[in-house]
Structure 1
């Protein structure tokens, strides 16, 4: 599905609350014929309505104001983002096609479990503002007050608790790492698998399972119905109470970050057209730091943090390395 942000549509969005500053004269001015001199496609390898789709559409007016060209959003969902990633890689390396995706876990999953004919290094992530995380939680009325009580129960009887989780997920890898670190027999756990994060979260909130491990950002609407026990990050996130990984897994824990969502380009563009590569990078950075963009995205509960290319690609590579170590789990073996 294509969504073309024409100037008329930009004005409609502005009248709905997006600041008019986003429609001002482009911040990056170039001579006629220089890049970009025609619309730019944004490939979203998911169907409409999901986080990446909403991020692309909310961010587009601000990015196109920087570039001075309309953005056409193209949804190519299917096969766990593989179809969209393949479509993106098939496009000319000229800067006129960029990507808005959940780089992790989907790029590593495409490569490790679906034999994709590309590598993580073929993608250059300019910024991954959304860094989701696994949250281990229980229902608000649960007997478990903290993660130590859960660990003690699982050490004593690994099958004594029902654990809600998605199969072949970053959450499953994190559960395995937690077990390895705390001498819990992973193979003896009683796992209740769900096809999506929503059903798994509802099972936790409703007490259908004793505990669950699911992406933490999706738990936010259920905040009053759940009790957070462990955030798989080295810092507290979204004002959740409870422990963080360093509390139960040591000072330098290995864990998988949840969905790392944001903006990417063909890595080959840096050599093929350094000027276009830099223009796109600068435009994404400028739009990301635009106060009006930050306000607009925050209102829609979309991430706005600027990590930049070096940190974004480092985080993706680190996640890919950990996932490769636990390939047997991702393959269901």
Structure 2
């Protein structure tokens, strides 16, 4: 027996003697997450809100998760390319999306026949809840939304309206005109390939009114006159903007609207189910980074949102938006 023990290499003998405990550190390391860099996948080109949010958050997420955080852009196809690429990745937690999940995921399903479902995705946190803002250039002789409605009722072609096609803003514009009995087919609607061009056209007076996400107007806020915010709560960014709920109550109709871009951190539902421990680690790190005072100060200076809503509220808002997109699928397809 002693001869057998002598024949065993010293390291193996120690492992046997300790019941394999010396292997435990290796096992623990294999189970430790994360062990390598985390990638933030942005399904949009560089320079947009999601790209800026991802790059601004990366150093703070790195601080709280203990691994480098890099950003990858995968634009194209109204986010279909990025979404599809993400669904092809392993469910290991090493890639997280920074996405305008609402409305782009449901929009890609409704208008581009994407081969995934809205509930295939899980929202960790959507800090940016952009809302449609009806606005005009300060140079325009439109002093209120009531002025605009009165003009359009007299003559639907009296004012031009700028909007992005296949967007939440288009749905809100259509619902608003319908509520006031204004024939949308007679209105001079000018479409732009993106919210940025629509805002530029609005602020420059190229269209009389723009229906566009309000957050994007903030850098040029001094060049526009807010006419109506599609919300039921006051905004600190536009404290004097009338709210849709108040306007609808005064005009005698039931307010209906769709949230604009709901931006933030997204993973796959199957990852949450397959890797609950890793999901919780990501969740805690993203929450800690979002609430980090240095992060809040940095993102606020860049006019980026830092509100922590959490998964429950974020998923509820996202799925509500997705259901409304499906409800108005015909309108979106027509656009």
State the TM bucket, normalised to the shorter chain.
Answer: 0.7 to 0.9
1:199-210 alignment to 2 at 5 Å? 199-210=197-208
Structure-1 residue corresponding to 2:222: 224
1:13-28 alignment to 2 at 5 Å? none
Structure-2 residue corresponding to 1:269: 271
How far apart, in 1, do the equivalents of 2:308 and 2:51 lie?
A: 19
Structure-2 residue corresponding to 1:242: 241
Deviations 1:128-186 (A, max 9, x none): 11111111011213222111121122223222211111222211110011122222222
CA change 1:117–1:32 in 2 (3 A) is closer
How far apart, in 1, do the equivalents of 2:90 and 2:123 lie?
A: 17
How far apart, in 1, do the equivalents of 2:221 and 2:175 lie?
A: 26
Higher helix proportion, which one?
Answer: 2
1:154-193 alignment to 2 at 5 Å? 154-193=152-191
Q: TM-score when scaled to structure 2? A: 0.86
CA change 1:315–1:252 in 2 (3 A) is farther
How many residues align? The count is 304
1:81 counterpart SS class: helix
Contact 1:178 1:249 in 2 (8 A): no
2:107 counterpart SS class: helix
How far apart, in 2, do the equivalents of 1:314 and 1:100 lie?
A: 18
Q: CA deviation at 1:240?
A: 4.5
Structure-2 residue corresponding to 1:142: 140
Q: TM-score when scaled to structure 1? A: 0.86
Structure 2 unaligned residues grouped into runs of 5+: 1-27
How far apart, in 2, do the equivalents of 1:212 and 1:228 lie?
A: 10
CA change 1:312–1:252 in 2 (3 A) is farther
Q: Which moved further from structure 2: 129-138 or 63-72?
A: 63-72
How far apart, in 2, do the equivalents of 1:240 and 1:150 lie?
A: 20
1:60-209 alignment to 2 at 5 Å? 60-209=58-207
Structure-1 residue corresponding to 2:24: none
Please tell me whether residue 259 in structure 1 is matched to residue 261 in structure 2.
yes
Q: Which of 303, 316, 320 is residue 318 of structure 2 equivalent to?
A: 316
Q: CA deviation at 1:257?
A: 1.3
RMSD: 1.8
